[in-house]
């Protein structure tokens, strides 16, 4: 008998089927054994008479008849008559997988990530993320973008800052890439519109719920733009398309979380940083320090976007030069065409228009007391005719976590890396 998946059982009422999966949960009641079987598509209750059910997480095959059962999860169950143990668990699971609750004891859940990942919500998180990435790729492919693959071992920092990982590269110093930034720009000179899906590395010193040392960066870069508006137009259409894809394919996964899909029927508001700061002060009596928006200010500008525009997303534009990397296109009054996108209170994107003129780039490096010599390979390409261009990067774990209402970005990555975690 060939294997069917739990999700297919609704079409098999009254039939004999064979299921293969894991012992998600088990219970003995009188002479009757209940085995909750889990496979990649869901869980189902299997009812046995007089059968010893093996330990949680044992890998098993169950054969039986599919019957309607109003009280059972999913409205059906399996009246089972045989149980084959494919691979028996040799010790109890270190955590109670069916009780999955990642707000309690995050350290334990992460320590045993190889098994906590099997939880239904953890599994769903990975599926939703895969679907977001699929939506990212398919939208961009349809818009004439080409996927690129750039090095993660690099000679210089792209983003500046102190959060670079050093690597011994044949006796010389190299770094793990913080972003494909400079390479994706170079590739605009080749393919005009490019994107990349790849991990990047940040030696983050602060231990927060939104920072990982390794995260999946969804990068986009496009040539022949007029301004940063073109970049925002593209990102807005892209995100709406990604959300539509998730809504279509992941209804069940979304339903497991206390969340709803964002409103994609509105235009995402765009507000210059200075105006955002003034508005937050006036409306919510909060004064944000520094040149950027701090996390509380991000939360408040998002609140404004939701209250005034019914939007879960808001673009913050016109960042000052001092708050942006050297490659950001400068405009008058010390401002730039650099922008962020905030989703449900947290920044998920930085981006904007870039400098495409060689001399201006050298000037921007010098302004920031950076050595143009260290960027000679990158600068070279700007002597060979680069079009006006711009782009952005979305942190895949952040968008996944915010979409599902997961409060710690670590749980939106299968095997998170942070200051205190290098395994599993």
Q: Measured between alpha carbons, how far is 117 from 130 in angstroms, rounded to an integer?
A: 15
In terms of CB distance, is 69 or 379 closer to ligand AMO? Answer: 379
Check if the beta carbon of residue 270 is closer than 8 Å to that of residue 315: yes
CB closer to ligand AMO out of 93 and 370:
370
Q: Which is nearer to ligand AMO, 45 or 349 (CB)?
A: 349
Pairwise CA distance, residues 109 & 410, whole Å: 11
SS3 81: strand
Q: Which is nearer to ligand AMO, 22 or 392 (CB)?
A: 392
Tally Cβ neighbours within 10 Å of residue 299: 17
- If the CB atoms of residues 122 and 200 are measured against ligand AMO, the closer one turns out to be 200
Helices (H), 256-346: 273-284, 295-309
- The whole-angstrom separation of Cα 273 and Cα 324 is 12
Q: What is the arrangement of strands in the sheet containing 172-176, beginning at the earlier edge strand?
A: 153-154, 172-176, 166-169
**ω into residue 424 within 30 of 0, thus cis?**
yes
Binding site for ligand AMO (CB under 6 A): 159, 179, 181, 202, 204, 211-212, 215, 217, 347-351, 391-395, 397-398, 409
Nearer to ligand AMO, 33 or 395 (CB): 395
d(Cα 178, Cα 165) in Å, to the nearest integer? 9
Supply the minimum distance, in Å, between the C-beta of residue 188 and ligand AMO: 12
Residue 374 sits at φ, ψ, to 5 deg, of -65, -15
- State the Cα–Cα distance between residues 110 and 422, nearest whole angstrom: 11
User: What's the min distance (Å) between Cβ of 172 and ligand AMO?
Assistant: 24
Q: Which residue is nearest to ligand AMO (CB)?
A: 395
| Gap between the Cα atoms of 41 and 8, Å rounded | 9
Nearer to ligand AMO, 77 or 292 (CB): 292
DSSP summary character for residue 264:
-
How much is the CA Rg of the chain, to the nearest whole Å?
Answer: 25
Residue closer to ligand AMO by CB (options 246, 393) is: 393
184 close to 221: Cβ distance less than 8 angstroms = yes
CB of residue 142 vs ligand AMO: minimum separation in angstroms?
Answer: 21
What's the rounded Cα separation, in Å, for the pair 415 and 113? Answer: 7
User: Which residue in this structure is represented by tokens 């085995």?
Assistant: 35
Tokens in use for 260? 């709803």
Beta strand 16-29 with 3-4 is parallel
| Least distance between ligand AMO and beta carbon 215 (Å) | 4
To ligand AMO, the closest distance from the beta carbon of 269 in angstroms equals 18
**Shortest spacing between CB 10 and ligand AMO, in angstroms:** 38
Residue 339 tokens read as: 């922008």
| Owner of token pair 């691979």 | 87
Our CB check for ligand AMO shows the closer of 378 and 392 to be 392
User: Taking the CB of residue 416, how many other CB atoms lie within 10 A of it?
Assistant: 18
Q: Which one-letter DSSP state was computed for residue 355?
A: -
Q: Please report where in the chains the tokens 């003129």 appear, as a residue.
A: 357
Q: Which is nearer to ligand AMO, 1 or 162 (CB)?
A: 162
CB of 348 to ligand AMO, least distance (A): 5
Rounded to a whole number of angstroms, the minimum distance from the CB of residue 418 to ligand AMO is 9
CA-based nearest residue to 193, from 243, 247, 234: 234
Q: Considering the complex, what minimum distance in angstroms separates the CB of residue 216 from ligand AMO?
A: 8
Report in angstroms how near the CB of residue 74 gets to ligand AMO at its nearest: 35
Closest to 225 measured CA to CA, from 393, 386, 348: 386
Closest CB to ligand AMO among residues 124, 342: 342
**What is the smallest separation between the CB atom of 303 and ligand AMO, expressed in angstroms?**
19
Both tokens assigned to 154:
């690099």
């Amino acid at each position: 008998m060939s294997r069917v998946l739990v999700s297919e059982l609704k079409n098999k009422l009254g039939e004999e089927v064979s299921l293969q999966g894991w012992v998600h949960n088990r219970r003995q009641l009188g002479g009757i054994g209940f085995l909750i079987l889990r496979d990649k598509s869901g869980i189902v209750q299997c009812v046995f008479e007089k059968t010893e059910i093996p330990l949680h997480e044992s890998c098993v095959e169950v054969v039986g008849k599919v019957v309607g059962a109003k009280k059972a999860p999913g409205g059906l169950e399996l009246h089972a008559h045989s149980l084959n143990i494919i691979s028996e668990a040799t010790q109890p699971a270190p955590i109670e997988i069916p009780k999955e609750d990642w707000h309690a004891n995050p350290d334990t859940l992460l320590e045993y990530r190889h098994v906590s990942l099997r939880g239904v919500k953890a599994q769903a998180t990975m599926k939703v993320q895969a679907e977001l990435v699929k939506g990212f790729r398919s939208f961009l492919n349809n818009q004439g973008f080409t996927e690129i693959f750039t090095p993660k071992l690099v000679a210089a920092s792209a983003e500046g800052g102190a959060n670079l990982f050093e690597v011994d590269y044949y006796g010389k110093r190299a770094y793990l890439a913080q972003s494909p930034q400079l390479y994706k720009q170079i590739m605009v000179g080749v393919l005009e519109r490019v994107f990349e899906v790849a991990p990047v590395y940040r030696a983050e010193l602060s231990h927060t719920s939104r920072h990982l040392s390794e995260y999946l960066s969804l990068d986009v870069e496009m040539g022949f733009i007029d301004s940063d508006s073109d970049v925002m137009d593209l990102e807005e259409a892209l995100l709406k398309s990604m959300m539509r894809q998730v809504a279509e394919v992941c209804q069940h996964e979304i339903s497991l979380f206390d969340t709803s899909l964002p409103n994609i029927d509105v235009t995402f508001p765009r507000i210059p940083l200075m105006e955002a700061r003034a508005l937050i002060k006036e409306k919510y009596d909060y004064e944000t320090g520094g040149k950027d928006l701090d996390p509380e200010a991000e939360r408040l500008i998002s609140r404004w976007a939701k209250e005034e525009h019914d939007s879960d997303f808001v673009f913050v534009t016109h960042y000052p030069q001092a708050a942006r990397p050297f490659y950001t296109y400068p405009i008058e009054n010390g401002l730039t065409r650099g922008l962020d996108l905030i989703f449900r209170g947290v920044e998920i994107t930085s981006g904007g228009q870039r400098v495409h003129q060689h001399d201006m780039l050298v000037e921007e490096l010098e302004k920031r007391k950076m050595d143009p010599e260290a960027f000679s390979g990158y600068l070279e390409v700007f002597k060979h005719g680069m079009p006006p261009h711009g782009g952005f990067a979305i942190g895949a774990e952040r968008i996944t976590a915010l979409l599902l209402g997961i409060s710690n970005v670590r749980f939106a990555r299968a095997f998170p890396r942070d200051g205190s975690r290098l395994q599993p």
